[in-house]
Amino acid sequence: MATEHAKRYEVRLSGAGGQGLMLAGKLLAEAASAYDGKNVVQTQSYGPEARGGKSKSDVVISDEEIDYPKATTVDVLLAMTQAALDEYGSSLRDGGILLVDSYLVERVETPGAIKIPFTMLAIEHCGRKLFANVVALGALTEATHVVTWDALKRAVLARVPKGTEAVNEKALDIGRDAVKQAVGDQRG
């Protein structure tokens, strides 16, 4: 959990262009800064092919001033594709939290990885795969407590298009419930 770590907490959201990870990073950063009062730096990068190519969004959160804006050894890595896990898996610190979309990631060699089919859950419960990023944010927040649940919900609801608030809130809850189940299954 984030509160047990040092004052600096690094999150990397990775996958393919078009999965909404840039927006997810912005939502997480906004939740931390605007609603939880933390210091935050959010950066992003994606391949030249954009949609379908590798993408990542890094969020550094701290109670203190952030002296270096880039994530170096991340505390939590979200990998929404196999290519993202292959590319960024080595950036996860020892003992860090790995969340993977088990619908799109087949090969996970990290013991204790939390495997949740974010894309499938979005399709089944929200009607479209484009909600997978919000499902994943709900899961990441529940797994790490890097931001408060209230802050995340407020950030998401403030940014989503009018008329989609209910389905986005549902997507957050689906992610939250899925990580509780996944962690419970690993323990028992």
Each residue of 36-58: pLDDT tens digit?
Answer: 999 999 999 876 555 667 899 99
- Contact (Cβ atoms closer than 8 angstroms) between residue 84 and residue 56: yes
Split at pLDDT 50, 70, 90, the class of 30 is very high
pLDDT digits (tens, 9 = 90+) for 101-150: 999 999 999 999 999 999 999 999 999 999 999 999 999 999 999 999 99
What does the alpha-carbon distance between residue 133 and residue 23 come to, in Å, rounded to a whole number? 8
Cα of 92 vs its chain's centroid, Å: 14
Dihedral sign, CA of 122, 174, 21, 31?
A: positive
Query: Crossing angle, helix 132-144 and helix 118-126, to 10 degrees?
Result: 120
183: CB partners within 8 A, 6+ apart: 114, 143
Q: What global pTM score does this model have?
A: 0.92
What does the alpha-carbon distance between residue 12 and residue 92 come to, in Å, rounded to a whole number? 9
What is the maximal distance between C-alpha atoms in the chain? 44
CA distances from 130 to 1, 64, 107, 135, 173 (A): 27, 34, 23, 10, 16
- Contact (Cβ atoms closer than 8 angstroms) between residue 27 and residue 152: yes
